[in-house]
Structure 1
Amino acid sequence: MLSASANYRTLLRTSGAAAFFLPSVVGRLGIAMTGIGIVWLVHARTGSYAAAGLVTGGFAIADAVAGPQIGRLADRFGQARVLPGALGAHAGAVALLLAGAVPDLVAGVLVGATLPQLSALSAARWSALLSGERAAALPTAFALEALANGVSYLAGPALVSVLGAAGRPGAGVLLAAGLVVGGGLALAVQRRTMPPLTGHAERRHAGRALLRSAFLRQVALGLALGVFFGAMQVSVSAYAVERGTPDAAALLYFSFNCTNLVGGWAYGAWRPGDSPQRRQAPAAACLTLASLPLTFLDAPLAIGATLALTGLVVPVLLILASLLVEALVPRAVLTQAFTWGNSASAAGTAGAAAVAGRVVDAGGAQGGFGVAVGAAVVMTVLALGGRRDSSPDVSESSVLAETTAPNPPATRRDSSTETSQS
C-alpha cells in the first residue's frame, strides 16, 4: 500500500491535476447525495414512498438521457463555457423542487436533466493531461476516479440520511446542490487542463466511433454493471429483512463498499502488461463466480464475506471500461463517450431495482441475487466478445503509448479504432 500511496501522490502532483480533480470530487459527492435527498424530501412532503420513488425515477431517467448531451456540448464548446450554464440551470431546478413551485415529478426531472456528470469531465481531463510519455499513468488515474466515486457513494447517501432522519430533508437537497454547483464552478475555472477543442468536421467524423460495436459493447457492459448494482441493493436489503435484522443491511453494504475501495486502490498501483481486452473477460468471470454463492448461502457471515469478495472485482471492471473507452474513442467526442457509459450504468441500476424487487417478492432475496449473477454472466459474454475488438498482441502500455505518435489525437484514435474493427 505504500507504493500505491506513492503512485497516487505522484499522479496528483502532476501540474494541474489536483486543481481539477479535487473540485470534481466535491461535486460528485453532491451528485451522490442528490437522488437519496429527493427521496427524503418528497417522502417528508407527501408521506408516500411511492411518490418519492416516482420522482427519484424521473430524476434518474432524465440524468441518464441528458448527461451525454451535456457531455457532447462540453466536447464542442469546452467545459468552461458549458458548466456555468448547466450549473445555473441545476440550481434553479433545485430551487423549484425545494419551493414546491411545480409538481415534484417535473422538478425532479429538471434536476436530473441539468446535472452535469463531473466524473466524465474529470476523466476527459486526465486523458488530455496524461498524453505522450505520461500515458502509462492513465490506469492509475482511472483507478483514482473509481476511488473518488466509491467514497462519494459511500459518504454522500449516509450524510443525507442523517439530515433526513433529523427532520431536515430540505437541508440535504440544498447541501447536495451547493456541493455540485461549488465543485462544478471550481472545475470550470481550471481552463489550463481542459481537453483541447476540435473542428466541426473532425467532431462529425469522430462521432462515428460512438456507433461502432467496440464502443457500444462497453456501453452495454456498463448497463449490465448497473443492473448488478441495482439488484444487489434490493437483494441485500431484502435478505436482512427476511432474517428479521434490517439493521444488518448497513453492515453488509459496508463490507461491499470497503473492499470496493481496496480493490480500486490496489489496482491503481498495479501495472499489468497485457491488454485491457484480455483482462476484462477474466474480471467479469471472477465477478460471476464470486457472486454465485449468494444464490444459495444463508449465514450472515458467509453473505458478508461473499459481498466483500465481489466488491474487490467491481472497481477493476470500471477501470478497464474507462481504459477501453479512452483507447477506442477519438478525443473529439471523449467526454460524451464517458457520459454514455455512466448513463448506461445509471439506467441499469434504476431498471434493475424494479425487476429485482418483483423477483424478490416471488422468490426471496436469493432470487434477487440471481438477477445480479445473471448480469455478471452478461458482462462476461460481452467481454469475451470484446477480445476480438483488437489484436491480442496489443498490450495496455502500447495502446496508451500511442499518444506519442506524431498524428493529431483524434486522427490517431480514429485510425486505431478502425484497425481494431477490421
Structure 2
Amino acid sequence: MSSANYRALLRTPGAAAFFLPASLGRVGVAMTNLSVVWLVHSHTGTFAAAGLVSGAFAVAEALGAPQLARLVDRLGQTRVLPPALFAHAAAVTVLVSLVAADAPDALLILGGGLVGASVPQLGAMSAARWAALLRTDRAAELPTAFALESLSNAVGYLVGPTLVSAVAAAGHPVLGTVLAASLSVVGGLVLAAQRGSAPAPAGDSAAHAPQDRSLLRSEVFLLMGLNLAIGVFFGAMQVSVTAFGVEHGAPSAAAPIFALSNCGGLLAGWLYGLRRWRVPPPVQLPAVTGALMLGTLLLLTVGSPFGLGLVVLLTGATIPPLLALFSVLTESTVHQAVLTRAFSWLGSASAAGSAGAAAVSGWAIDTLGARGGFAVTATAAAAMTVQSIVGLRLLRSRRGR
C-alpha cells in the first residue's frame, strides 16, 4: 500500500502551502499549556500554582476558541488571524513578565487565561481549508484529507510536549514558552498569507445565520456529545495508565506505554486515510467506537504493564480514524459559513470532557485503584458507541449544506 492518496492531496495547488505551516503551528499550540506549567512551576516552586494557571488556560481556550472561530467564519482567516496571533504573542509576553516579576498567583492565573483565550485555532482553520478546496469536485477525498489532519494533530501532540519538556528540564522554561509561541505565530502568519486557499468569509450572514446555518441542531449536539466523551477518554487514560504503573511498581512504564499508543495511532490513521471506504462515515462510526469500547473493556482485565501496553496499542489505533470521522461528519452536517466555528466547538467539548475526567478518574482511582480509572474510560467509550448507534439514522439522512 502506497501513500499516493496523500501525495495527490498535497500536490493539489495551494494545499501544501497551507497544510505545512498549519502543522508547524500545531506543534507550538501543543506545547503551550505544558510550557505554561513548566514556566510557573520553575518560578513558584509549586505545582499548585502551576495547576491553577494551567486550569485557567484550559477554561479560557475552551470558551475563547469558538468566539475566535465565529470571527473567522464571518470576516475570513486572512483578516482575523494576524491580529489574533499578535494578541497571543502579547499575552505570552505578559505572562512571562508576570512570572519574572514574581507576581501574585491571582495575576498569574489572569495571565494564563489571556494566553489560553488567544491560542490560534490552526487545526480548525486548516480543516476548513480542506473542505473549501475539495467539497465541490473532490468530496470523496475529504476523509483522506481529514485523516491527514488527524495525523498532523497526533504528531504535534507527540513532538510538542516532548520538545518543551526537554527544553524546560534543561533549565530553560522561559525559552520553552517563547519557542511554543514562536512556532504558533510563525506557522499562523504563513498560513494567513495563503489567501488563495482560504474559505470565503460569510460576512454578516454568519452572525445572523438562518436555520440551515445554525449550530443549534440535533446533529451538532450529537457530535458534541461524541467529542465530550472522547475527551473523557483522553483525560481518564492519562491518569489511569500512570496510576497502573505506580500500582505495579513501574511508574516509569507510563511514558513508553503512551509512546506505543501514539505510534499505533499514527500507523492506524495513516492506513485509514489511504483507503477509499465504500461504507459511509455514519456506518463506520459505530464500528470504530465499538472497537474502542472493546479495548477499554480489556483494560479492566490486564494484570501487567506489558499487557496494558498491548491493549493500549488497540485503543490508540482507533483514535485517529475517529477524529477523522468526526471531521467528515461535521463537514457534511453544518453549513460551510459556520464550519470553523463548528470545529472549534467540538474541540471545546473534547477539552471540557478531558478536564472533567481528570477529577472524576482521580476519585475513582483513589476508591477502586487503577481499574476504577479504566472503568471511566470504558464508560466514555460505551457512551460513544451508544450515541453512534442511536444517531446513525440522523447522520445518514440529514445534511447541512
> TM tier, shorter chain?
over 0.9
Which ranges of structure 1 fall in alignment gaps of 5 or more residues? 393-414
Matched residues in 1 for 2:339 and 2:69: separation?
Answer: 8
CA contact (8 A) 2:202 2:337 kept: yes
CA contact (8 A) 2:77 2:198 kept: yes
1:221 aligns with 2:226: yes
Match of residue 416 from structure 1: 399
Counterpart of 1:106 (choices 80, 91, 110) is 110
1:380 aligns with 2:374: no
Deviation for aligned residue 1:199 = 4.3
* Structure-2 change in CA distance of 1:273 and 1:85 (3 Å): same
Match of residue 86 from structure 2: 88
CA contact (8 A) 2:73 2:338 kept: yes
**Bigger Cα displacement from structure 2, 182-191 vs 382-391:** 382-391
The letter for the 1-side match of 2:380 is: A
Matched residues in 2 for 1:268 and 1:91: separation?
Answer: 35
CA contact (8 A) 1:206 1:333 kept: no
Deviation for aligned residue 1:131 = 2.4
1:365-420 Cα shifts (integer Å, max 9, x gaps): 1111111111001111111121121447xxxxxxxxxxxxxxxxxxxxxx8339xx
1:255 aligns with 2:238: no
Q: How does 1:273-288 map to 2 (within 5 A)?
A: 273-288=278-293
CA contact (8 A) 1:256 1:311 kept: yes
The letter for the 2-side match of 1:375 is: A
Match of residue 159 from structure 2: 155
Q: How does 1:6-85 map to 2 (within 5 A)?
A: 6-85=4-83
SS at 2:400's partner residue? helix
Counterpart of 1:270 (choices 272, 275, 295) is 275
Match of residue 214 from structure 2: 209
1:240-263 Cα shifts (integer Å, max 9, x gaps): 122222211111101110011011
CA contact (8 A) 1:30 1:175 kept: yes
Q: How does 1:329-408 map to 2 (within 5 A)?
A: 329-391=334-396
The letter for the 2-side match of 1:20 is: F
Deviation for aligned residue 1:208 = 4.8
Deviation for aligned residue 1:298 = 1.3
Q: What is the TM-score when the length of structure 2 is the normalising length?
A: 0.95
The letter for the 2-side match of 1:301 is: F
Match of residue 290 from structure 1: 295
Match of residue 174 from structure 1: 178
The letter for the 2-side match of 1:332 is: A
Deviation for aligned residue 1:175 = 0.3
Identity %: 53
CA contact (8 A) 2:213 2:335 kept: no
Q: How does 1:137-152 map to 2 (within 5 A)?
A: 137-152=141-156
SS at 1:132's partner residue? coil
The letter for the 2-side match of 1:416 is: R
* Structure-2 change in CA distance of 1:359 and 1:168 (3 Å): same
* Structure-2 change in CA distance of 1:82 and 1:301 (3 Å): same
Runs (4+) off by over 3 Å:
206-209, 415-418
**Bigger Cα displacement from structure 2, 322-331 vs 353-362:** 353-362
Which ranges of structure 2 fall in alignment gaps of 5 or more residues? none
1:106-125 Cα shifts (integer Å, max 9, x gaps): 11000000112100000000
**Bigger Cα displacement from structure 2, 101-110 vs 157-166:** 101-110
Counterpart of 1:164 (choices 152, 168, 189) is 168
1:328-381 Cα shifts (integer Å, max 9, x gaps): 000000010011111111111111112111211221111111111110011111
Number of residue pairs matched by the alignment: 394
Deviation for aligned residue 1:167 = 1.1
CA contact (8 A) 2:219 2:395 kept: no
* Structure-2 change in CA distance of 1:225 and 1:218 (3 Å): same
1:139-175 Cα shifts (integer Å, max 9, x gaps): 1100000000000101110111111111111111110
